Amino acid sequence: MLLGGKDKPDPAFLEAVVRASGQKTLAHCYQCGKCTAGCPTTFAMDYKPNRIIRMLQLGRKEEVLGSRTIWVCAACFTCSTRCPCNIDVAQVMDSLRVIARREGKTGLGRGVVLFNDLFLLSVRRNGRVFETGLALSFNLRRKTFFRDAELGRFMFTRGKLRFTPDRPKGVRELARLFAKAEEKVEE
């Protein structure tokens, strides 16, 4: 798929990712594989991190944005610290998620996008994440109603989860920060 893949090369894609991520040395990657060797989530990826970088160099936009890898990346920065070319691979993956979301290409990352949206909504409403509400909302939207029910029961009996959110002081200030961030995004 990498060579002679199904999508036509888009030479402007590499430049767009360089602008979005701030990683001017992306074209210098020589495929040493250190990013992949240190990555703790490669077992769940369809393309390893060094392959994603190579596909970027080749302008394989559709393959990159359609990959599971950009959504599986845990942003642990192991790849970034090991890169001899000083490429912040984790920042590249984050930028790819933003681009994919903007272009509506979240197919393989739909659950990640939903979780992120619900997480931020919980923080916005409550001043911090309300785990019980987050888990219930996520499972309801995914139609996995009883997923993690046994774990939830266990955590409730140990006092690790609450039935109601605990709202700290400053929730209004946090709401203003969210509003300000949304204004910036719209600009």
Domains (range + CATH), the chain: 11-105 (1.10.1060.10), 109-186 (no CATH)
Q: How many CA atoms lie within 13 A of 63 on its CB side?
A: 23
Task: State the residue for tokens 């709401």.
Answer: 175
| Residue 22 dihedral angles phi and psi, to the nearest 5° | 80, 10
Cβ-contact 89, 21 below 8 angstroms: no
Q: Give the DSSP letter of residue 114.
A: H
pLDDT at 186: 65
pLDDT tens, per residue, the chain with 187 residues: 444 556 678 889 999 999 999 999 999 999 999 999 999 999 999 999 999 999 999 999 999 999 999 999 999 999 999 999 999 999 999 999 999 988 888 877 788 888 888 988 888 888 888 988 888 888 888 888 888 888 888 888 888 888 888 878 888 888 888 888 877 666 6
pLDDT at 106: 81
